[in-house]
Copies of this chain bind each other. A is one copy, B any other.
Amino acid sequence: MKGNPCTLADLGEDELLRRLLKLLPPRRDVLLGPGDDCALVKPARSLQVLKTDVVIEGLHFTPELSGLHVGRKAMARVISDFAAMAATPRHALVTLLAPPQTPWLRVRALYQGLLAMAKRFDIAVVGGETSRSAALTLSVCLSGEVAAGRWVGRHGAKAGDTLWVSGVLGGSLRRWHWSFEPRLHEARQLARELPLRAMMDLSDGLRCDLPRLAARCGLGFEIEGKRLPRRRGCTVQQALEDGEDYELLFALDARVSDARVQACAQRLGLRLTRIGRLLPAGQRPTDWTAGGWEPFVKS
């Protein structure tokens, strides 16, 4: 057990759990946290929201990325999905799969990153699971709530609606993919101030995600490539295809004026750009090929 670095195989599962549980702060709406067969929490007040997501070493992050950043990203990705619905996450379950030779200090850093992000968005980690695996894997499941009539899905838009994105796109692999801020507060504010018809967060890249939104609405689309808000030094193609932007893509009734959206953007301190519009089904750019990120096909 002595010596450095201490690995998960040195600790064994019970000691690993004991150490992980010590990192978790208690919270008043959690009746029963980790350590029992299930977690017990206060229920959602209106509608319950559920989402799970996973990050895997070698696929979503490199072995060189610090544990703090990996943990932060694993939690932030799911929070970004809650943002996409204008919902509020409350409770998390965390599954850690790791090779036995993983140093304890790396696992601790993972949880510290994850818990720092959870704390910032007032999320309690109430349970989870640990097991052995070939690649370090962190799966985060969030449960939360949204008031009936307040949520925004992917499917409510109509032909003619304008398409908007928050922030800037492209070049995420330089730094943004592990340091992004989920647009949680901004999305809820947008949903209060503007009649959002449909919304999603951009994780696989606009070229991949926009057709998904349009398909859910049964619509086509067009965008003006030169209008795309790009990160400094990025080409239009990078803005379309790099992925991991974690920005909001949303559709608005075309009667909502640009000035009204920009006034909202200013209040939020968030850049909002009109990039195109939704069209009747079947109408889409002829040069718009499938692309973006594909987990099951090696590039």
What residues of chain A have their CB less than 8 Å away from a CB belonging to chain B? 8-9, 11-13, 16, 31-32, 35-54, 56, 59, 81-82, 84-85, 87, 91, 93, 95, 97, 100, 126-135, 137, 139, 141, 143, 145-146, 151, 153-155, 199-201, 216, 294-298
Contacts and interface: CB of A to CB of B under 8 A. Distances in A.
B95 A54 contact: yes
A97 B294 contact: no
A133 B132 contact: no
17 contacts: A37-B82, A37-B84, A37-B154, A38-B49, A39-B51, A41-B50, A43-B44, A44-B44, A44-B48, A50-B91, A50-B126, A52-B127, A56-B97, A56-B132, A59-B131, A97-B137, A133-B133
Given A97-B137, A134-B134, A49 B56 contact: no
Contacts of A44: 43-44, 48
Contacts of A32: 151, 153
A167 to B, nearest CB: 17
Contacts of A13: 294-296
Contacts of A153: 32, 36, 40
A130 B56 CA distance: 11
A132 B57 CA distance: 11
A167 B12 CA distance: 29
B47 A31 contact: yes
A44 B44 CA distance: 7
Nearest to A201: B37
A53 B135 CA distance: 18
A296 B132 contact: yes
Given A36-B155, A146-B40, A296-B9, A52 B82 contact: no
Contact of A143 (B84, B130, B143): B143
Given A8-B296, A43-B43, A141-B141, A127 B95 contact: no
A32 B298 CA distance: 32
B141 A36 contact: no
Contact of A46 (B43, B50, B134, B298): B43
A36 B130 contact: no
A11 B132 contact: no
A149 to B, nearest CB: 11
Contacts of A145: 43
Given A131-B54, A141-B93, A296-B132, A81 B38 contact: yes
Contacts of A298: 9, 100
